[in-house]
């Protein structure tokens, strides 16, 4: 039978039993045909749990095939040799068996003699990675041979295999940047031909290889990944999301693709993939209601099967991005149930992050605060990295301030003063300097003198107020330095884009709780959001806007 007819018949068979029966009916076949049959058998007989039917290895026809490969290894074509090697590795044949050592030895001899094409080098590299792992010394030899080949003619499969080999050899301390630069250039031209799996593997390799300068390639791969979102496996999608995070990529079309995919797939997606999607949204400040609503539903139905880290990954972004889904009551009821059962299984910092995120959106973990404020728990926090640093102590202080202001019925242990910060840290990035300057200029025009308002004022209640204005009992503005006869305090919150979710007018959780607490502490909070002021062209218009916002009773 000629090879074309053979492979046509082989591909129509659906069980290894049928394949072996078919092979037994042939008097003669080439080594390419025989290795093709082994590959087909390995595809049918191997899944994530290993070999489905170990008895297959004792089949007479299968053993006869293996015998031929072992004793005629030197006569095999490169394709027959390397395809057989890959198939036998997949079938979990003992690496120390005479068959495997013979085939490996023959492959390595041909490598040394320079007889392998780029395609065969990749096939051998794949087999060695599977069999011996990254420490295999022959991988470096393969890379050296690859450098001598015409890289422009490589197929996508060969490109992917070289990235995989480079990934592990670089981990072993070898440097191949010149080859990588050539490879990145060739890959850029081949992006449109790459399958979902190849896109995922290459992006993962670029992360491992720290290819931060390959901006054009990374951008092209990220754009190309959009069309593959519905077809990525869980593992592949995690790789892609990690690459987006590592390289700082944010594309609206990618988010839209996730918004179409996640709600449909939430009940079949692996929890680690859902966790990574939420991490991506949280880090990029993307409040996607379709994704968050679907994840809330997924949490309600599957929380009992999640690890503690996954529980935190599902829930924390709701607080960070200040969003309550339609199913919020069921979501937090389920969270409380899970916490009651598994509280002791949470790592201290994971538990603190989780409970802190809840108070940002006015979900109060009253039943669990006695544990959080206990000396034993605080010691555990201190003992584990990052310890009781300023961020951790700020979370503890904000939890304590929340129950003091918003839950006056709480009668459990208090947070000792030595664990409280004097002021919540204000990241430099949280204040939009350009917007702040425009508001101060407008205020100066409105109030005529700089003494009538103070900026970046520290309060006795841990928060820093962007701009404070004091009024007496009759509503007249007092000098900012005056301490007596202060009847009202106005806190201006100058909220730039970085205090909102991306492309949204939804305040982030940290800013929302600050404004809520300032109100409860007696301030009149006036929000000055960027989207109200950015279109005002001159100082007079800004002053007019501020007059209307701060003093509506006297406006006009």
For every residue of 237-276, which 3-state class applies, written as one string? HHHHHHHHHHCCCCCHHHHHHHHHHHHHHCCCCCHHHHHH
Whether the CB-CB separation of 354 and 312 falls below 8 Å is answered with yes
Q: Are residues 232 and 298 in the same domain?
A: no
Rounded to an integer, what distance in angstroms lies between the CA atom of residue 120 and that of residue 400? Answer: 64
The DSSP string of 61-99 is HHHHHHHHHHHTGGGS-HHHHHHHHHHHHHTT--TTSHH
| Residues whose CB is less than 8 angstroms from the CB of residue 60 and which lie 6 or more positions away in sequence, other chains included | none
Quick: pLDDT tens for 132-163.
876 677 888 888 888 777 788 888 988 998 89
- Overall residue count recorded for the chain in this entry: 556
On whether residue 125 sits in a domain, the answer given is: no
531, 505 Cβ separation under 8 angstroms = yes
Q: Are residues 141 and 110 in the same domain?
A: no
What integer is the mean pLDDT of 475-495?
A: 95
User: Is residue 124 in some structural domain?
Assistant: no
Residues 77 and 183 in one domain: no
Q: What is the pLDDT of residue 27?
A: 85
Residues with Cβ within 8 Å of 56's Cβ and at least 6 positions away in sequence, in order, are 16, 41, 45, 62, 91
Domain hosting residue 151, numbered range:
133-249
pLDDT at 236: 97
Map tokens 């339609």 to a residue.
326
CATH number of the domain within which 450 lies: 3.40.960
Regarding whether 142 and 74 lie in a shared domain, the answer is no
Q: Are residues 237 and 272 in the same domain?
A: no
The whole-angstrom separation of Cα 38 and Cα 87 is 6
More confident residue, 425 or 391: 391
Domain-located, residue 126? no
Give yes or no: residues 177 and 97 share one domain.
no
End-to-end CA distance of the chain: 97
Q: At what angle do helices 348-360 and 509-520 cross, to 10 degrees?
A: 60
Beta bridge partner(s), residue 46: 51
Percentage of residues of the chain with pLDDT beyond 90: 79
- Phi and psi (nearest 5°) for 176? -135, 35
Confidence label for 554 from pLDDT (cuts 50, 70 and 90): confident
As for how many domains the chain has, the answer is 4
User: How many Å apart are CA 448 and CA 539, to the nearest integer?
Assistant: 13
- Domain-ending residue, one of 388, 421, 454: 421
3-state SS, one letter per residue, for 119-136: HHHHHHHHHHHHHHCCCC
Q: Do the strands 464-471 and 454-458 form a parallel or antiparallel pair, or are they unpaired?
A: antiparallel
Question: Is residue 373's pLDDT more than 60?
Answer: yes
- Tell me the per-residue pLDDT of 389-421, one tens digit each, with 9 for 90 and over: 999 999 999 999 999 999 989 999 999 999 999
Residue 319, CA distances (Å) to 89, 119, 206, 322, 350 in order? 48, 51, 32, 5, 14
pLDDT band at residue 172, thresholds of 50, 70 and 90? low
- Per-residue pLDDT at 46: 87
268-294 mean pLDDT: 97
Nearest Cα residue to 278 out of 238, 230, 231? 238
Condensed to tens digits (0 to 9), the pLDDT of residues 529-546 reads: 999 999 998 999 999 999
Residues 399 and 487 in one domain: no
Say which residue, 96 or 429, is predicted with more confidence: 96
Query: Is the per-residue pLDDT at 387 higher than 60?
Result: yes
pLDDT tens, position by position, 463-483: 999 999 999 999 999 999 999
């Amino acid at each position: 039978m000629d090879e074309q007819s053979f492979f046509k018949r082989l591909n129509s068979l659906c069980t290894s039993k049928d394949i072996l029966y078919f092979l037994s009916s042939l008097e003669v076949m080439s080594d390419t045909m025989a290795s093709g049959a082994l590959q087909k058998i390995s595809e049918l007989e191997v899944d994530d749990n290993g070999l489905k039917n170990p008895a297959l290895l004792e089949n007479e026809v299968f053993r006869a095939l293996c015998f031929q490969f072992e004793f005629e290894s030197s006569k095999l074509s490169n394709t027959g040799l390397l395809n057989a090697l890959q198939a036998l590795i997949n079938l979990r044949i003992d690496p120390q068996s005479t068959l495997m050592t013979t085939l490996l030895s023959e492959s390595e001899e041909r490598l040394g003699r320079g007889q392998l094409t780029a395609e065969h080098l990749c096939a051998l590299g794949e087999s060695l990675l599977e069999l011996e792992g990254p420490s295999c010394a022959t991988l470096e030899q393969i890379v050296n041979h690859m450098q001598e080949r015409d890289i422009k003619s490589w197929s996508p499969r060969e490109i992917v295999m070289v990235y995989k080999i480079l990934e592990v050899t670089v981990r072993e301390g070898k440097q191949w940047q010149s080859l990588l630069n050539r490879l990145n250039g060739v890959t850029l031209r081949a992006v449109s031909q790459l399958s979902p799996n190849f896109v995922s593997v290459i992006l993962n390799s670029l992360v491992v290889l720290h290819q931060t300068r390959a901006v054009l390639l990374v951008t092209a791969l990220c754009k190309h990944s959009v069309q593959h979102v519905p077809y990525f496996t869980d593992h592949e999608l995690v790789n892609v999301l990690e690459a987006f995070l590592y390289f700082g990529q944010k594309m609206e079309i990618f988010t839209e693709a996730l918004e179409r995919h996640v709600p449909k797939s939430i009940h079949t997606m692996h929890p680690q993939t859902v966790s990574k999607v939420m991490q991506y949204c949280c880090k990029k400040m993307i409040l996607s209601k379709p994704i968050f609503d679907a994840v809330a539903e997924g949490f309600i139905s599957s929380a009992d099967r999640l690890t503690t880290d996954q529980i935190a990954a599902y829930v924390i972004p709701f607080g960070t991005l200040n969003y309550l889904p339609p199913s919020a009551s069921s979501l937090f009821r389920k969270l409380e149930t899970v916490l009651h059962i598994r509280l002791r299984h949470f790592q201290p910092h994971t538990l603190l992050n989780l409970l802190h995120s809840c108070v940002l959106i006015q979900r109060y973990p009253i039943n669990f605060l006695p544990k959080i404020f206990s000396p034993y728990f605080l010691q555990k926090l201190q003992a584990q990295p990052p310890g009781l640093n300023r961020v951790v102590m700020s979370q503890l202080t904000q939890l304590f301030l929340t129950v003091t202001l918003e839950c006056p019925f709480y009668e459990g242990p208090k947070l000792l003063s030595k664990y409280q910060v004097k002021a919540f840290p204000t990241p430099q990035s949280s204040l939009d300097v350009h917007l702040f300057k425009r508001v101060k200029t407008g205020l100066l025009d409105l109030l005529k003198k700089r003494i009538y308002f103070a900026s970046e004022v520290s309060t006795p209640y841990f928060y820093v107020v962007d701009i404070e204005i004091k009024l007496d009992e009759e509503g007249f503005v007092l000098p900012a330095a005056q301490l007596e006869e202060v009847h009202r305090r106005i806190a201006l919150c100058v909220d730039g884009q970085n205090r909102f979710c991306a492309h949204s007018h939804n305040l982030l959780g940290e800013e929302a709780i600050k404004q809520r607490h300032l109100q409860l502490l007696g301030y009149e909070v006036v929000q000055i959001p960027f989207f109200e002021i950015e279109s005002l062209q001159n100082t007079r218009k800004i002053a007019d806007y501020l007059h209307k916002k701060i003093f509506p009773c006297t406006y006009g």
